[in-house]
Amino acid sequence: MLDAHPRVAFISDIHGNIDALDAVLADIREHGVQAVVCLGDIVGYGGAPAECVRKIGDLCPIVVMGNHEAMTVFDDIVYLEEMPSSIRRPIELARTSLTDDELSWLRELPLVSKIGCFTAVHSSLHHPGEFPYVFRTEDARRNFKAQTTPVSFHGHSHVPIIWEEKGPVVKAHKPALANVRLSQEHRYTINVGSVGQPRDGDPRASYVIYERESRDVTFRRIPYDIESARRRIFSTRISGRNADRLSIGE
C-alpha cells in the first residue's frame, strides 16, 4: 500500500503522450521511487490514450479524475460538438480506443483522494467537480479553505508551482530543479506540472517526487522523444496544433 512507501512520485496531465509517460516512469524507477500517484487527465490532446490508461491503471494505486476523463465518460459534462477540434477529436479517439471496462474504470475514479498527510486532486479542492484552475492568489486561498491536510498536490494548469499558506499570507514560489523542504508550520498546494503537454515554455516532461518524512519536494524535468509523440498525433488526424505545442512547451 501507499503508506508503506516513504517516497511518492506525483504525475499529472499525461494527455495521451505515451512517449513522455514512458520517459517519466523510467526516471521514477531510476530514483528508486515505488509509489506513483496520478492526478488525472490521462487522456486528451495526444495520440495514445488507450496505452496511457492501461499503463496508469496497472501502475498507480491512487488515480483521481481529470476534466478530460470527465469529458470522455460523461456526455452531460460538455457538448463535444461545441469544443474546438484540438479537444474534441482526442476525446473521440479515447472513447473509441478504450474498452468498456477501461471506460468504466475512468467513470469510477474519485475527484479527490486523501492519503494520510496529503491530498490528491486534479484541479482545486474548491468545487473539484467543476475543475477550477489555481492561477491566482485568490484561487489558492479558496483551495486552502477546503484543504484538510498539510499538503495537497494538483495539476490541470500544466504549469509547476508551489503555493504556500503562512497564516493569512498566501504566496507562490516558482520551483527549481532542487529539493524544496516544506515547513512543518505552513500549508502547501503543489502543482506538479504536466507529463504530456507542459505549458511553461519548457517542453520537457514535468513531475514531482515527495519525501514524506522530510517533506522534501523535488521537481523533475525529463526529456523525451517529442518527434515520436508528434507522429502519433498526426497519425490519428488530431489537430496539428496539438503536435506543434509539444515542441515549444505551450
Which H helix or E strand runs over 153?
Answer: strand 151-154
Is residue 1 over pLDDT 80?
A: no
User: Per residue in 80-114, pLDDT tens?
Assistant: 777 888 999 999 999 999 999 999 999 999 999 99
Q: Are 60 and 36 in contact (CB under 8 A)?
A: yes
Copy the grid coordinates of residue 108: 469510477
Q: Produce one character per residue of 59-97: b if its CB has 16 or more CB atoms within 10 Å, e if not.
A: ebebbbbbbbbbbbbeeeeeeeeeeeeebbbbbebbbeb
Determine the length of the chain.
Answer: 250
DSSP state of 147: -
pTM of the model: 0.96
Percent of the chain exceeding pLDDT 90 equals 87
Cα 238 to chain centroid distance, Å, stands at: 21
Residue 164 backbone zone (phi > 0: left; psi -120 to 50: alpha; other: beta): beta
**Please, what are the domains in the chain?**
2-248 (3.60.21.10)
Q: Are 9 and 205 in contact (CB under 8 A)?
A: no
Please give the Cα distance from 10 to 195 (Å, whole number).
10
pLDDT value at residue 110: 98
Q: What is the 3-state secondary structure (H, E, C) of 64-86?
A: CCCHHHHHHHCCCCCCHHHCCHH
Q: Are 98 and 48 in contact (CB under 8 A)?
A: no
pLDDT value at residue 82: 76
- Mean per-residue pLDDT over the chain, rounded: 94
